[in-house]
Amino acid sequence: MRTMIHPPMRTTPEGMLIVHAITDRPIGEGSLVEVVLFDPWRSARSTIQGYDLASLGEVESIHGPFCNPPRWMVSYRGKVSAKYGDRIQSNEQKTHQVSLAGMGEIQARAASTARACARKAEYG
């Protein structure tokens, strides 16, 4: 009897962009950050356009992709506070988190309004 081996389950809707190396820029102020994109579903056509590179600082230029898995060198105008292994969120994930945070604020306001109405009804 032949057993089929299934590929591993995909754990994220898209790939992961990870900080691989950080150095000071050889000329001028700022940092050079090497990022690696792990996305087995896109392979050679991978791009980092959908990631929030500005979350680390002001982007001056982007060079790449190089190698496999694809890597890019991102030049920042100032020092960045990232470290090796940090993940850079996709813009889609960032938008989703902002909308969830907004929902939390709406729920907090609704609860506050409900408490105020209950107090008003209790005390007349």
Residues 62 and 95 in one domain: no
Give the predicted TM-score (pTM) of the model: 0.61
Which tokens in the block code for residue 37?
A: 């994109």
Which tokens in the block code for residue 82?
A: 């990232």
Residues 85 and 96 in one domain: no
Contacts with 3 (C-beta within 8 Å, 6 or more apart), sequence order = none
Over residues 55-97, the pLDDT tens digits come to 999 999 999 888 888 899 999 999 998 999 999 988 877 665 5
pLDDT at 72: 92
Question: Phi and psi at residue 92, in whole multiples of 5°?
Answer: -65, -45
pLDDT at 68: 80
Residues 26 and 67 in one domain: yes
Residues 17 and 77 in one domain: yes
pLDDT confidence bin for 111, thresholds 50/70/90: low
Given a cut of 90, whether residue 100 has pLDDT beyond it is no
Domain span holding position 34: 12-89
- Tell me which of 95 and 6 has the higher pLDDT: 95
Residues 19 and 54 in one domain: yes
Residues 104 and 81 in one domain: no
Residues 106 and 123 in one domain: yes
Contacts with 7 (C-beta within 8 Å, 6 or more apart), sequence order = none
Over residues 29-53, the pLDDT tens digits come to 899 999 998 876 655 456 788 889 9
